[in-house]
Chain A
Amino acid sequence: MRAFRGEPSIYSDAQPAKRQAELKIENLTLSFGGLMALHDVSLEVKNGEFLSIIGPNGAGKTSLLNCITGFYHPQKGRILFNGEDITGLHPHEVTKRGIGRTFQNIELFPGMTVLANIFLARHLYCNYSFAKASFFSRSVKEEEVKHRRIVEEIIDFLEMQPIRKKLVGSLPYGLRKRVELGRALALEPKLLILDEPFAGMTLEEKEDMVRFLREINTRWNQTTILVEHDMAVVMSISERIIVLNFGEKIAEGPPDVIKNHPEVIKAYLGEEA
């Protein structure tokens, strides 16, 4: 019954200790040939925090995310997740340690349904062997049912029931972004990384997205890093903001400090001649 829901079990049943997420980046430097994408960037994300990273185009925001999730390997510096050094690990190894992300350009399987796309993330938690799966034994079925329930709870939470069985390729852009968030949540990430989830959305879709993100962060203490261009959104949901410009961190602080920070204004508006 509806009355007893609205609480995805990946959150409501999880022990806080298991969802602990602390990220520490020390002196990270990344360059492509002569181009310096990140230069000596250090930052820290505390457990349960909502951190936003902003900056003009080419500031190195996505590069930073790609370093954390193992797509790029930095030349210098260290990335520590819950005390473990994850610098240089492959993306799938990073995912196993509890970091889930969405992509700027939506990386879903357009020929598969919404349900199947989200289901895919549960692969991480499948314990049965290939042999058992081939015969679809009872234990396999039971496990699949368990995962299906978790996926359905996410679909319910993100209000995607009407598109459950639609092909992702047939969906509008804003909804695809939502599906991608659903897939990231199905990973049960300790740290959720969102790369421009609001780009190309209508106002209504943005409002929905803010609602979801606020709920998982404030109610369920989901540690989140957000990279976003929409300042109104960033200012309204972030606890702390980091500003990058040309690969360097130029400012850090709560929204009202960042709004009036001279360096930030300079980076965004340019200097008076």
Chain B
Amino acid sequence: MKIKAEYLSQLKMYTIPQILYKQAELLRDRVALRKKCLGRWETVSWKEYLNFVKHVGLGLYSLGIRRGDHVAIIMDNQPEWLFSELGAQAMGAVTLNLFTSSIAKELSVMINRFGAKVVIAQDQEQVDKLLEVRDEIKDVVKVIYVDPTGMSFYKDPWLLSFKELLDLGKELETKEPDLFEKELWKGKKEDINLMMMTSGTTGIPKLAMLKHENFVDMALKWIESAPIEVGDNWISITPPAWIVDQMWGIGVAILSGMVMNFPEMQETLAEDYREIGPSITITSSRFWEDLASKIRVKIDDSGFIKRKFYEWGLKIGTRVTDLESKKKDVPFILRLLKGIFRYIVYRPLLDRVGCLHIKAAVTGGHPISPDVIRFFRSIGLNLKHAYGLTEGCGVFQVQPDDEVKPETVGKPLPRTEIKISEDNEILVKSPSLFVGYYKDEEATKKALENGYLHTGDAGYIDEDGHLIVIGRKEEIMRLKGGEAFSPDFIETRLKFSPYIKEAVVFGEERDYVTGFICIDFGNVGSWAEARMIPYTTYTDLSQQKPVEELILSEVRRINNELPKPMRLKKILLLYKMLDPDDEELTRTGKVRRKFVYQRYIDLVEAMYAGKDEIEVTGKVQYRDGHVGTITTKVRILDVEPIEQ
């Protein structure tokens, strides 16, 4: 069942708590929330949901929270988070979610900046942190804690349990039965209801202000473009201080009638995820990469028959997916086989990892390896890329169902306009754009210009209208001809190859892009052994002809997925691994590009001078500080012809 579009479009004029009120009338006893406690899934119906929100709202009112006041929430994923947030918003207050992992000092800074009057905290741990900085947060009149475990020893009148808050609310309701509705309907859709911390890479995070309208618009976009029905499951796992679960919890779920499910605790997530079997899930690329490798490891441990069937199934699935993505016809026999394997391999496998009911699986954030996407798509999981920002109230780019291209983040959701500025920055215009940064006019002015949001990311739109994000704007380099390219974007993709361990790309103020490649000694070594290619050291292996051919074919394949100006023209296989001991990598494993460039300037120049080969004498520093030299010849490999 889907809620009718006409009905939904009427909801545009209300605030989020008002919409909850309407939905409680429409959906009544249907399940709204589920939380696993004491080993079973306890449910909250839409009517009960509204009641909790009402009592929290009135409870806050009797603590002195009025329209325009601020309430901070330090909570994990659990129903009380939604009750607190919507309860406060129903009374006209503005909420902010903080990370439960923050240290006391961070909490006090954010609470003061936000000007919270009441803080609702998860448990003893959070309360202890607040007590520690109590002198610094003088404006906070009450701290409410949700989990009473261990709290019986605290006798401070500054603290109040969530249960007591609800009791306060119930008390006020019997005294003034109309108060809640009176306050509720005073709300306007243009009011700010929520602030979000933005990931500040420098200094304190900024607070992005969002209004009711933003969430309603974002929710409608999703409902229009994804197959969401009443009663579909969402599992709440990303922290409420991030936009993803906010967008769902107080946006999509409320408008569409989806069920929000809350796992028992972080450690039981995998099991709870499987029990719920969510319909839609949005997570980081890391989640999918981990899941894929977990599946591979488990399959390797399983019996011979299971393993064989899995291998056949995967082979067939990959063939079909490859043909489909190239928009070629799939032969009947392959389609038939895929249909059979669907029931004997794909579905049981997806069931095991809790992904059987997924209609749309979305990954965001960091680029994900195309192999992982291909893997999941070939076992029948609709995995796709998305792109979004807190300032845009969540996701605004998703790959459409029928045209998934691994390297892009897809097309805009409805009512969203994407533009590329002259310096390659991605600009977005949409009704869900945020209002501005709290108490920071200057940053607001910079971020919002002529109604467009400046994302700070660089990208371009390909021939099919798909957006490709290439990285942060400040990391972009330019060729002599002015074409932008992102070394990080290219290197990340090169490193997806199992044979490439490290890559460094050059090309700033040059005619074309070139790169150093460090082979993966383990993988290339076993590849060589399987082909009876003898080798001695890393240096020797890296300069073997067949290895060069192998790496060239990998680079050519990756080149095909890159836009024209970003394609590598020449590469060379470095005779040694980049090493933090030689200061070529940071201790965390990141390439120090400038240092590498200066150190190997002869090699770089040789690639641009059109030489085929260069003799090098390199220095290698051993662990004991002793410096050795390597003398070898390095061949420069042409990846593709250079256009004049």
B61 within 8 A of A: no
Q: Which of B44, B146, B149 has the most CB of A within 10 A?
A: B149
Task: List the B side residues contacting A3 at CB < 8 Å.
Answer: 80, 146-148, 161-163, 166
> Digit string of B123-149 for contact with A (CB within 8 Å is 1, else 0)?
000000000000000000000001111
Is the Cβ of A1 less than 8 Å from the Cβ of B152? Answer: no
CA separation between A59 and B38, bound complex, in Å?
Answer: 42
Task: List the B side residues contacting A161 at CB < 8 Å.
Answer: 39, 264-265, 267-268
B408 within 8 A of A: no
Whether A1 touches B150, Cβ cut-off 8 Å, given contacts A155-B39, A162-B268, A164-B39, is: no
Partner pick for A156 among B37, B150, B267, CB 8 A cutoff: B37
The residues in A between 142 and 196 inclusive whose CB is less than 8 angstroms from any CB of B are 148-149, 152-153, 155-157, 161-162, 164
Task: List the A side residues contacting B35 at CB < 8 Å.
Answer: 1-2
CB distance from B82 to the nearest CB of A (A): 12
CA separation between A148 and B151, bound complex, in Å?
Answer: 26
Task: List the A side residues contacting B150 at CB < 8 Å.
Answer: 6, 211, 215
> Digit string of B36-55 for contact with A (CB within 8 Å is 1, else 0)?
01111010100000000000
Is the Cβ of B148 less than 8 Å from the Cβ of A6? Answer: yes
A4 within 8 A of B: yes
Is the Cβ of A1 less than 8 Å from the Cβ of B42? Answer: yes
B78 within 8 A of A: yes
Q: Residues on B close to A: CB < 8 A?
A: 35, 37-40, 42, 44, 78-80, 146-153, 161-163, 166, 264-265, 267-268
Look across to chain B and name the residue whose beta carbon is closest to the beta carbon of A219. Answer: B152
CB distance from A13 to the nearest CB of B (A): 15
Is the Cβ of B37 less than 8 Å from the Cβ of A2? Answer: yes
Is the Cβ of A153 less than 8 Å from the Cβ of B152? Answer: no
Subset of 15 A-B contacts with CB under 8 Å: A1-B79, A2-B80, A3-B146, A3-B166, A6-B148, A7-B148, A148-B39, A152-B39, A156-B38, A157-B149, A161-B264, A161-B267, A161-B268, A215-B149, A215-B152
CB distance from A118 to the nearest CB of B (A): 12
Task: List the A side residues contacting B163 at CB < 8 Å.
Answer: 3-4
The residues in A between 44 and 101 inclusive whose CB is less than 8 angstroms from any CB of B are none
Is the Cβ of A218 less than 8 Å from the Cβ of B38? Answer: no
CA separation between A153 and B37, bound complex, in Å?
Answer: 9
Look across to chain A and name the residue whose beta carbon is closest to the beta carbon of B264. Answer: A161
Q: Which of A1, A156, A162, A164 has the most CB of B within 10 A?
A: A1
Task: List the B side residues contacting A148 at CB < 8 Å.
Answer: 39
Is the Cβ of A162 less than 8 Å from the Cβ of B148? Answer: no
A5 within 8 A of B: yes
Is the Cβ of A218 less than 8 Å from the Cβ of B153? Answer: yes
CA separation between A149 and B44, bound complex, in Å?
Answer: 19
CA separation between A218 and B44, bound complex, in Å?
Answer: 34
Look across to chain B and name the residue whose beta carbon is closest to the beta carbon of A220. Answer: B152
Task: List the A side residues contacting B42 at CB < 8 Å.
Answer: 1
B interface: dominant SS:
mixed
Is the Cβ of B38 less than 8 Å from the Cβ of A149? Answer: yes
CA separation between A36 and B95, bound complex, in Å?
Answer: 69
Whether A5 touches B37, Cβ cut-off 8 Å, given contacts A215-B150, A218-B153, is: yes
CA separation between A149 and B268, bound complex, in Å?
Answer: 19
Task: List the A side residues contacting B146 at CB < 8 Å.
Answer: 2-3
Look across to chain A and name the residue whose beta carbon is closest to the beta carbon of B40. Answer: A152
The residues in A between 106 and 160 inclusive whose CB is less than 8 angstroms from any CB of B are 148-149, 152-153, 155-157
Which 8 pairs show the lowest CB-CB distances between chains A and B?
Answer: A162-B267, A152-B38, A6-B149, A6-B148, A3-B162, A152-B39, A219-B152, A162-B268
The residues in A between 213 and 271 inclusive whose CB is less than 8 angstroms from any CB of B are 215, 218-219
Is the Cβ of B78 less than 8 Å from the Cβ of A2? Answer: yes
Look across to chain A and name the residue whose beta carbon is closest to the beta carbon of B147. Answer: A2
Is the Cβ of B38 less than 8 Å from the Cβ of A153? Answer: yes
Task: List the A side residues contacting B268 at CB < 8 Å.
Answer: 161-162
Look across to chain B and name the residue whose beta carbon is closest to the beta carbon of A211. Answer: B150
Whether A1 touches B80, Cβ cut-off 8 Å, given contacts A161-B267, A211-B150, is: yes
Is the Cβ of B37 less than 8 Å from the Cβ of A1? Answer: yes
CA separation between A152 and B148, bound complex, in Å?
Answer: 17
Is the Cβ of A6 less than 8 Å from the Cβ of B147? Answer: yes
CA separation between A155 and B38, bound complex, in Å?
Answer: 8
- Kindly list 10 other residue pairs between chains A and B, CB separation below 8 angstroms, not including A1-B35, A3-B147: A1-B80, A2-B78, A2-B147, A3-B166, A149-B38, A152-B39, A161-B264, A161-B265, A211-B150, A218-B152
Task: List the B side residues contacting A218 at CB < 8 Å.
Answer: 152-153
Task: List the A side residues contacting B44 at CB < 8 Å.
Answer: 1
CA separation between A89 and B223, bound complex, in Å?
Answer: 70
Task: List the A side residues contacting B161 at CB < 8 Å.
Answer: 3
CA separation between A16 and B264, bound complex, in Å?
Answer: 32
Look across to chain A and name the residue whose beta carbon is closest to the beta carbon of B145. Answer: A3
CA separation between A92 and B112, bound complex, in Å?
Answer: 60
Is the Cβ of A5 less than 8 Å from the Cβ of B38? Answer: yes
Task: List the B side residues contacting A6 at CB < 8 Å.
Answer: 147-151
Task: List the B side residues contacting A215 at CB < 8 Å.
Answer: 149-150, 152
CA separation between A219 and B152, bound complex, in Å?
Answer: 7
Task: List the A side residues contacting B264 at CB < 8 Å.
Answer: 161
Look across to chain A and name the residue whose beta carbon is closest to the beta carbon of B270. Answer: A162
Task: List the A side residues contacting B265 at CB < 8 Å.
Answer: 161-162
CB distance from B147 to the nearest CB of A (A): 6
CA separation between A155 and B44, bound complex, in Å?
Answer: 23
CA separation between A219 and B155, bound complex, in Å?
Answer: 13
CB distance from B210 to the nearest CB of A (A): 27
CA separation between A228 and B120, bound complex, in Å?
Answer: 39
CA separation between A5 and B163, bound complex, in Å?
Answer: 10
Look across to chain A and name the residue whose beta carbon is closest to the beta carbon of B44. Answer: A1
